[in-house]
Amino acid sequence: MPKPRISKSKDRTRQRQRSQQMQTSSNTRVRLVFSILCLGLFGLIGRMAWLQVLQAPVLEARARAFQTQKTQPLGARRSIVDRRGRLVALDEERFRLWAHPRYFSFPGDNQGLIRKPVEIASKLSGLLKMPMSHIVDLLGNHASGVKLSEGLNLEMATEIKKLGISGLDLEAYPQRIYPQNSLFANVVGFLNQERIPQAGLEQSLNQKLLRREKTRTLRRGADGTPLPDDFAPGSFYGDDLRLQLTLDARLQELAAKALLEQVIKWEANKGVAIVMDVTNGELLVLASTPTYDPNKYWNFSPSLFKEWSVQDLFEPGSTFKPINLALALQEGVITRTGNVYDNGKLIIGGWPIYNHDQRANGVIDFAKLLQVSSNIGMVKTMSKLDPDKYWEWLHKLGLNKKPTTDLPGAVAGQLKNKDVFVSKAIESATASYGQGFSLTPLKLAQLHALIANGGILVKPHITRGLLSGETLNAQAFVPGEQLLKPEVTKTVLDWMESVVEEGSGKGVKTTGYRIAGKTGTAQKVVNGVYKAGVKICSFVATLPVERPRYVVLVVVDEPKGAYAYGSTVAVPVAKQIIDGLLVLEKIPPSTEKSKFQPAQG
């Protein structure tokens, strides 16, 4: 059956309608897409505004935190050097070696390959000088954070880095080193494993020894390049300051060796040697024995960590006699040409007093009194000085006061209170020959410096100041108080010189040099009682007499033996120190009995 025919006009109408519908649909779609694009654009603009305006500070802080590396202070300390720049204490870089077994691999290994602990141990055993089995035991079954070793030096750390083993981490830290070992331990002290100062100058001058450090902030680019415009001023400032001591390592070593030999020879408890510059109180030597190694302090008794020359008291005995004669001269109760009668024995307040040899010396002048070390002569001489005035002088000299010094732990001496001293005649009598009161070896050296320098009480000290390069920021010099007349001290020095020329100090005589001195052999108080046969032997010297510059003091505690005296125990040590001092300080020989010149600060 034939299809019905559609007219052309109807066909065109249909096509037109379809075209209009498609056009309408297309326009709607475009509008919709356009609207979506506009909304997206406005969203992007809004987001950019949000990020760049409102969120900018937060995002910038995050970026800086990612790009910035902070270095925390390590607590480094300044070095300590002696008077000639020789290192006494310093910080050295050391390393701890940490292992993380879950990351173990060798250079060139395939990604994901984890090496076994025994393979790592085979590489490290030779470097660490540890058995492989021990390293494997340390690693155990831990996945991370195993400390294998510490105290590694830079050379060893570099060798470990060269192995290129993943999973090994080197942590740097400062370690305090004492290159002179025990030589300065008694005054410098040490830091413990936590770097906390435990003794000596390390403790008393802790704040001065801390380097000026701060947290450093360094910005880097994506490739690690530093960004110089972000460095804070002073970020890379280096604190190169060093604390300089007055001590001389060469002389200290000589004194320590000579002292140790005598302490061993005489089976003594301990000994100390001091050399002081009488013009300013600087100590060139402060040596003690027994001592310890601050690098291995854990191997020694804590009782050795103090310096007994400034912390322990003793009765000086005859080495104090020149001080007493100076007081008598100052007060005018004796004269340079005077004399005293020594009958060998006195009874004071019911107590008998004898000379050390229990002999009478007859009429003697004061030079002879010191030569024979007459106790009876001293008691009679000081009895001329009013006890009240005598006590006032001992107090003025600071016997019962803590000395002004930078030495750590210094203590005051012990002196009977004024009422007891004045009311009981035995107190001033025993004090006249150096017993019945106590002081430290440092205080005794200071008082003999007073005799040597023309009557000035200088401040004993062992630090000069901070060094930067060759420039010394020296501590301000504070002149001491003038206590005695120069002519008084000159007279006493002349008397002391006769002890070296003709008396018990002959052992330090040195051809071409004028040296003054005085020996001492005092009974020692044990638990409040003078114990028979227990002594403290000492000797003090001043040189050169015509222009005094140095005081040398040696004290030895409880030497054993029938012939243990200041002349046999302490003098030989002083002789070796003086011989070294003359050479090291280039002291010219003395001329004839030249005019006395008080030392000048």
Q: Which residues are catalytic?
A: 318
Strand spans (E) along 64-126: 68-71, 79-81, 87-99
Q: Is residue 244 within 8 Å of residue 462, measured between CB atoms?
A: no
Q: Determine the residue type at 412.
A: A
Quickly list DSSP for 472-484: EEEPPP-PPEE-S
Q: How far is CA 161 from CA 94, 96, 135, in A?
A: 14, 13, 18
Round to whole Å and give the CA distance between 359 and 356. 8
DSSP 446: H
Q: Is residue 544 within 8 Å of residue 513, measured between CB atoms?
A: yes
Q: Which of 203, 201, 200, 234 lies closest to 216, judged by CA?
A: 234
* Helix/strand/coil for 34: helix
Helices (H), 386-440: 387-396, 418-423, 425-432
Round to whole Å and give the CA distance between 4 and 27. 36
Q: Is residue 432 within 8 Å of residue 379, measured between CB atoms?
A: yes
Round to whole Å and give the CA distance between 462 and 185. 13
Cis amide linkage into residue 544, ω under 30° from 0: yes
Q: Is residue 476 within 8 Å of residue 467, measured between CB atoms?
A: no
Q: Which element (helix H / strand E) includes 351?
A: strand 351-354
Helices (H), 164-248: 185-188, 200-204, 206-209
Q: How far is CA 295 from CA 87, 183, 253, 595, in A?
A: 14, 12, 18, 50
- Annotate 213-224 with three-state secondary structure: CCCEEEEECCCC
Burial class from Cβ neighbours inside 10 Å (0-12, 13-18, 19+) for residue 207 reads exposed
Round to whole Å and give the CA distance between 572 and 567. 8
Q: Determine the residue type at 182.
A: S
β-pairing, 242-245 vs 79-81, is parallel
Q: Determine the residue type at 22.
A: M
Round to whole Å and give the CA distance between 275 and 99. 52
State in Å, rounded, how far the first CA of the chain is from the last one: 146
Round to whole Å and give the CA distance between 240 and 91. 12
Q: Determine the residue type at 154.
A: L
